[in-house]
Amino acid sequence: MTVEAPTGPAALGQSRRGRWGAGSIAPVVVILVLLLVAVGIRQPDFYDPPALLAFLKRAAPLIILAAGQYFVIVAGDFDLSVGSLVTAEVVIAARLIDGDPGATWPVVALVLGFGLLVGLVNGLVTTLLLVPSFITTLGMYLILVGAVYTWTGGSPRGALSEEFRMLGRRGIEGVPWLGEIPYAVLILLVLAGLAILAMRSDFGKVLLAVGDNPRAARLAGGRVAGVRTIAFVVSGGCAAVAAILLGGFGGVSFQVGAGLEFTAITAVVLGGVVLGGGRGSVVGAMLGALTLQTLLTLLNLLGVAGALASAVQGLIILAAVAIGGLRART
């Protein structure tokens, strides 16, 4: 802007991270396009706007979880507690609402608050007590599972109100051409926008630096512990939102969040985000989630059993991390 010298720093060149380096989103975009083409061949009406929106609605919880997980992973940590947090939130909401429509909105607020609180505890234990986040959140996972089972006496009680379920199920109806715009998609768009803005802000840049080199971030005057803690809070909040949406289209059960932590981590890694922190974008993480959802849809269309889908997910996470490592080395 102020300098025009061609060799100077203002001469924007293509960095070596550029197109295909570790942390870039190009590979996931290519995979996503290929998968979308494959789904389209298998099911031509997939591209009708209403069908596409319905697909996005199904993908929204995973994309939101992946966005939350991204903040934690890019700072160099893990959040393994989100799956059980989703379960806990749904079960808690069902029991507290117990079919009473009047309780809906207070309980939604409570669910969000509880998610943020769990994230805060994860963050403080990790940064103040210096427990590796892998262990902190694994512990939180077990605590939540145990607490929910104990609290409900072994099987979920109560029921979600129709108002609560509406958030995940319904949308703005009668929109020309698009048909119904699901609330889940709107919520997704708002959160995705916020996530992108956050990563472009000072906070996001410092978060990346913390994941890359915490000592350098600290010596530059950064609040390393604070930034990492906020990342956990974001992840907890995203898990709460995902729980609200999932409670809408799934039933109330202990299975609603099972395994979601690994699905989210797989999605983030698939999106080119490097485990260990410092590289990768939140857009990549969300595209990774969309790609994973597309793949699961395709497997479903091809008649692959659900059990095998889990194995495919395992293969993806191994391949993505291995390839990411190779790309980082070159």
Partner 1 sequence: MHDVGKSFYGVSVLSNVDIDVYPGEVHAVVGENGAGKSTLMKIASGVHQPDSGSLRIAGEPVVLHNPREAQAAGVGIIHQEFNLLPERTVAENVFLGREPTRRGLVDRRAMRARTAELLASVGAETVRPTDRVGQLGVAQQQVVEIVKALSLDARILIMDEPTAALADHEVELLYALVRRLQARGIGILYVSHRLAEVFDLSSRITVLKDGRRVVTVDTADATPEALVRHMVGRELASYYPPKAGAPGAALVTLAGAGNGRLRPIDLELRSGEVLGVGGLQGSGRSALARALFGVESFTAGQMTLDGKPVRPRSPRQAVRAGIAYVTEDRKGEGLALSQSVLDNALLASRAATPRWFGGGARTTSVRALLAAVEVHAAGVDQEVRYLSGGNQQKVVLARWLAMAPRVLLFDEPTRGIDVGAKAAIHELIRDLADKGAAVLMISSELPELLGMSDRIVVMRDGALAGELPGDASEEAVLSLATGTPHEVPA
Query: Could you give the CA distance from residue 74 to residue 207 in angstroms, rounded to a whole number?
Result: 7
Binding to partner 1 by residue 9, rule CB under 8 A? yes
What interhelical angle do 282-301 and 260-270 show, nearest 10? 110
Shortest Cβ 234–partner 1 spacing (Å)? 16
Tokens standing for 164? 């609560």
Q: Which is nearer to partner 1, 92 or 233 (CB)?
A: 233
303 Cβ contact list (under 8 Å, min separation 6): none
Q: Name which of 5 and 130 has its Cβ closer to partner 1.
A: 5
Give how many residues touch partner 1 by CB under 8 A. Answer: 36
Distances (CA, A) of 224 to 112, 231, 281: 25, 11, 19
Q: Which residues pair with 171 in a beta bridge?
A: 182
Q: Is the CB of 224 or the CB of 296 nearer to partner 1?
A: 224
Instruction: By CB under 8 A, name the one of 1, 129, 130, 307 that touches partner 1.
Output: 1
Q: Which amino acid is at 317?
A: I
List residues bridging with 181 in a β-sheet: 172
Assess contact for 229 and 73: CB atoms under 8 A: no
Question: Would you say 144 and 88 are in contact if contact means Cβ atoms under 8 Å apart?
Answer: yes
Straight-line distance from the first to the last Cα atom of the chain, in angstroms, rounded to the nearest whole number = 32
Q: Given candidates 7, 177, 303, 307, which one binds partner 1 under the rule CB under 8 A?
A: 7
With residues binned 3-state (H G I as helix, E B as strand, rest as coil), the percentages for the chain, rounded to 5, are 70, 5, 25
Does 12 bind partner 1 (CB under 8 A)? Our answer is yes
130 sits near partner 1 (criterion: CB under 8 A): no
Binding to partner 1, residues 196-215 (CB under 8 A): 201-203, 205-206, 208-209, 212-213, 215
- 145 versus 207: smaller Cβ distance to partner 1: 207
Min dist CB 223 to partner 1, Å, is 6
Q: How far is the CB of 276 from partner 1 (least distance, A)?
A: 10
Which residues ranging from 269 to 308 are in contact with partner 1 (CB under 8 A)?
A: 278-279
Q: State the minimum distance, in angstroms, from the CB of residue 186 to partner 1.
A: 24
Answer yes or no whether residue 6 interacts with partner 1 by CB under 8 A.
no
Token couple for 109: 């607020």
Smallest distance from partner 1 to CB 185, Å? 28
Q: In this complex, which beta carbon is closest to partner 1, that of residue 135 or of residue 216?
A: 216
Site for partner 1 in 215-274 (CB under 8 A): 215-223
Shortest Cβ distance from residue 23 to partner 1 (Å)? 7
Q: Which two tokens stand for residue 278?
A: 């410092």
Structure tokens at 79: 């959040």
Which tokens go with 18?
């550029």
**Does 23 interact with partner 1 (rule: CB under 8 A)?**
yes
From residue 314, alpha-carbon distances to 178, 274, 311 in Å are 35, 17, 5
Shortest approach of partner 1 to residue 67 CB, angstroms?
20
Question: From CA 79, how far away is CA 119, in angstroms rounded?
Answer: 9
Binding site for partner 1 (CB under 8 A): 1-3, 5, 7-17, 23, 201-203, 205-206, 208-209, 212-213, 215-223, 278-279
